[in-house]
Amino acid sequence: MANSRSYGLIAEFETPEQLIAAAKQARADGYRELDAFTPFPVPELIEIFELHDSRVLWLGLIGGFFGCGLALFMEIYVNFDFPIDVGGRPLYALSAFAVVAFELTILFAALFAALGMLALNRLPRLNYPIFSAKASSRASRDRFLLCVLASDGKFDATETEKFLRQQEPLSIELVPL
């Protein structure tokens, strides 16, 4: 039962090993909406949280195709609408279009990937509920936090707190919205 008045429960751990063990146990117990906050990357969490999202790569590829198509369209249109016959050269010489097409391919691939990454991460976000938690200030220095989100189908404030207490955290805190 999700609690509409809270963002979730956050548990504070002293070591990354404790966080990894708690995250594995949370997954095993059926929790799916989890998040972790650590002072340095913990690669094991990628597998535990199943973070294999390739949408940004696809957005970059789509942007590249769009940029290349746009460049070729512009150059072909300009040569069709304003033909200039210089020395018997063909009007549609693709080799002459390569530099501009390459530049726009790179530009649009980078723009689509960067803007897509921001949109998928829901950034910029001016207010993030986790920042109101007392433990969040130490997550960038020396603590490891596991958050079970209230949007999880299995989330129940009392039952989830009991589960987190079994993981022996330093503290548990309910994060309001």
Rg (CA), the chain: 25
Contact indicator for 160, 148 with CB cutoff of 8 Å = yes
pLDDT class of 5 with cuts at 50, 70, 90 = confident
Give bridge partners of residue 9 from the DSSP assignment.
148, 174
The pTM of this model reads 0.75
What is the model's pLDDT at position 1? 46
Mean pLDDT of 8-23: 97
pLDDT tens digit sequence for 148-176? 999 999 999 999 999 999 999 999 999 99
The stretch 120-148 carries a mean pLDDT of 91
Kindly state the average pLDDT of the residues 22-46: 95
Domains of the chain: 6-52+129-176 (3.30.70), 55-120 (no CATH)
On the question of pLDDT at 4 being above 80, the answer is: no
pLDDT at 3 (0 to 100): 53
Task: Give pLDDT, residue 94.
Answer: 85
How far is residue 110's CA from residue 34's CA, in Å, rounded to a whole number?
30
171-176 and 144-149 strand pairing: unpaired
Which residue bears the tokens 């696809």?
Answer: 58
Number of helices (H) and strands (E) in the chain: give both, helices first.
5, 4
Predicted confidence at residue 80, as pLDDT, reads 86
Q: Where are the beta strands (DSSP E) in the chain?
A: 6-13, 34-37, 144-149, 171-176
How do residues 46-87 score in pLDDT, each as one tens digit?
999 988 899 999 999 999 999 999 999 999 999 888 888 888
Mean pLDDT estimate for the chain: 93
More confident residue, 1 or 125: 125
| Rounded distance between C-alpha atoms, residue 116 and residue 60, angstroms | 8
